[in-house]
Structure 1
């Protein structure tokens, strides 16, 4: 698993963060309503949002691009620890990370290709992804099996001469609905009878235009279709791709997945802290500005308790996230598994609690799209399932803890 070297001095990180905050203040926060209106007006839910195209061009021109990317030639070169506060800032608006080409699944896919792809694969796919000319998605989860246990994956990847033939179904494939999505990274079984269940799977590059790749339908999450990125249900019908599209080689699928998911899980947690921090700030503003039963809400004891508990919850999660980022930088994903599991358990639940308090304090308005709270709550709830449900991380953490402190 890959360590992230500190190749950039902290002063550059601070300067970049200030520029990011200024961009958010000037171009993102003032356009939240416009973005929502443009999404609603899309004649085709798969087409790019005009505002997003405009802002992405501006961000790229200003050098606020691929800020997550440890590869200094194509991105910032920042470590996970250095990137954490920037991701938190972007997390304050649900769609902001996309402006800077730092959104999932793009960020994880670029890191995957950077670490595991051949030079030819990088030339074909990593370069255009890093430049923002195309989009991509990861096809892992399947509707007919419990995908929390990835050994259950049933999609068949069968060698046939100089090609692989793929058959199977996938769903909740984030980013696959976007019209610019040109690449699917597909996980399936090349050796279903291997004695090691963790060497049965492989990952392979599948251009979305390949015959047999079928979008069955878009999916919603608690009513949100997340257009135009979207989440799709896909079918692979005898999809044939060249043998050189395999990543690392047969049987390496789990190895690739674990290397990719460590930083990806952490990035979600960073963004969730930004969500929760903004919710806290709006909670305070609401409490100061609204009067009930003869005094401001901020003078009500229960409101003060909610604010205080939220401050504690956010700061604990922030510090744990920074510690996880440092461990990931210093030791790599394999040796940071325990603390990554901790923060993946803690951060989404923390964000849910804080957002729930903020929604309650805002009353009916908190449930509407007039505020960011309802969509952010949906994101937090989704994160408790995405990249491994809570139960999987709890089981993994318990297993590691028992091994560390148990007898024998």
Structure 2
């Protein structure tokens, strides 16, 4: 008869020293560094515990209360709770909380509403769009015919006339609004009007602004879009995963089937529990305060960078993220490496009409989300802006990097995060 090894149900990380060392190293990196990557945030201890719970052991397929597996009583309760909270937070009629990621959410909607080969009009990744909206290297780019719109050279914002002209020229079945590196507010009503002119679905991907939209700090796409997708981390400050939101009941079976069995199988219940936890947090008044601070802190950071002589794409930001143009200073890859050495985690990024390749672009993408979650205010973000400017002006100056690293350590020590795992 098999007997589990000693400690199987009781030993924690210390049972695997090699793995423990790596996880604790990541904890120390987060503790001692400033996170400025727009695709990341810091979750609550509640979210960590929900996502690291015994739900890891449970497999289910299908919708809540209509599973293909038994033993789903509590799984159903948890998923139903996440769905109900998503609908309350965003004021919509229907929600699917199963997508493993924002990319899966988008792919599932495409599969549910479109036929292979249909035309999709979406923002070019070079202008700030997301790869899941039809980049040639992805399945969506292979399976659908993608037409791309960009931004104006003069304003570096979406050119609605270009979007309308492309829509009329190509007659897409779906128009996608929203992106991965677009810092300005989007006029969703204008996209709705264009979609109606050509008989297209309108999908809004609000992954980077969902928390702001939910709390009234960014335009709400739900009154205008046929379908809205988002991630649950980034500005929602929660578990890694995706959501699909909509109001027309006639779309429900198609969207749900696009997710399961269309693009994924079993539900990751531990992630759904983490989503339920963060959505519950987002329904509390504190979350609106958090998002107001995200905006104030982003503007403080952006203003500081501009005073230090760095240019912001489009001249500023209407959300928690911004693009910094390093042209004439250094390149994004060099700057990101130097900033990481100084304890400032950022990501290199293309800027609109970038003459440089994605591997060594002209820009950086920054966000105030994680720092705000940690408790940083405008004073701290102005300090961070000064440190960034110092480093990017002299990325090979080891003394400057060491001084910046000391300043980052001092700052982070004043705003502690979780205890050691």
- TM-score norm. by structure 2 comes to 0.24
TM-score by length of 1: 0.25
Question: Which structure exhibits the higher relative contact order, with contacts defined as CA atoms closer than 8 Å and separated by 6 or more residues?
Answer: 2
Counting helix residues as a fraction of each chain, which structure ranks higher? 1
